[in-house]
Structures are given as structure tokens and as C-alpha cells.
Structure 1
């Protein structure tokens, strides 16, 4: 290490980073199961955002939950096959429900998991 240089730990920011750091003995015939936490801000309260998100999640067969917080944004967790979770993330970040206006969307805590913790996608109150 060069004197005066600082060494910083790596922050995992995407599926690719997580996948590269994952144990190499993953079964190549089993779809990769992933999990991500999300928060969507903007005009997402009072426009049935959670209801539409639940319908999309059920169509894609992803698991997890969604809730409206006191600031008027929605947040939750998604689990499922990577390609289906990716589609849900695209819907959350770019489309949303009719009449919603997505101003920001944060995805964090990407993980590869062995199995889903949830049996379906629910709206929490």
C-alpha cells in the first residue's frame, strides 16, 4: 500500500457486485433468488400505488410487502427470481400506478438469498 493512501471497504450497489462476491458453487440450473429493499417518493399516496404494485408483483410471482410511510412515500421489500425482481424494480422506478408521479426511487440492500421468506406479496398497514 502506498503511504498516505486510504483503503476503503467496497460497497455493494448492484446485483452484479453481489453476484461476483457470492460463493461460486451456486447451482447453475436453479434461478438466482434475490432480495431488495425499496422506497419510492413523489406523488404515490392516494393513487392506489400499493394496490397496483401488489397486482404487478402477483403477475410476476415476486414475494414481499409494501407500505405507505408517514412522509407519503412507499417502501417495502421484494424477493424472487432475479429477472422477475428486475422487472418489478423497473415498474417501481419508471411506471408506477396511473396518476402517480415518481420523483425518486431508492433500491438498497441487494442480496442473493437461498429461498424467499414470504409466500406472497402483501400490503402492510
Structure 2
């Protein structure tokens, strides 16, 4: 909260960025993949206590962040034109399901937990 504020808005230009909302990364960014964000969070957060979270804690924090609304990316259909899209991207539909408590986590088959990432 000291870097990103309790509402995810960030705390200023020299601190943590906005995590959700109008000025956050869009839902086409690499960070919208749960495994990518969880790996980043585990290795880098909180500042000064890097690698202090368990895989589950990093995944929980990441799922919470990714459940919030963010700018929409308009070209999802052009990503991965030959297939192979990772199945852990949190898009608008999934964000809503997570917030409503009815997301089926078993639909994410290939999630790589932070301790398994290089």
C-alpha cells in the first residue's frame, strides 16, 4: 500500500504505478497473464523484501490485482494468430467472473508458478 495505495491508484510519479483503472496497463499487456504477474510479484515485491512471498501468496495478490478493471486492448484477435495463446490471461470476462466469485480456476491448465519460472 505504501507504493501503490490501498485503492491501487499509485502514490506518485516516483513510486508504484497505478495497478488498475484508467491509467493502468491495458488488458493486452504481458502482465495480464497470471503466471507472468505472479512471477514478477514474487521476485520483486514488496520492495526491500523481494522473494519473501510464497508462490500462493504471489498468485493470490496477482489474481486480486488482475480482477480489477483496466483499459481494454482492442486487438486481442490479432494476438497469437497461429494459436498458442497462454490460457492464464485475465480478460474482461474473467475479471468479472473473479469478482463475482464464479471463476473456474481449473480452466487454467498450464499455469507456471513463480518458483517454476526461470
Q: How does the TM-score come out when normalised to structure 2? A: 0.26
Tell me which protein shows more strand as a share of its residues. Answer: 1
Tell me which protein shows more helix as a share of its residues. Answer: 2
Greater relative contact order (Cα < 8 A, sep 6+): 1
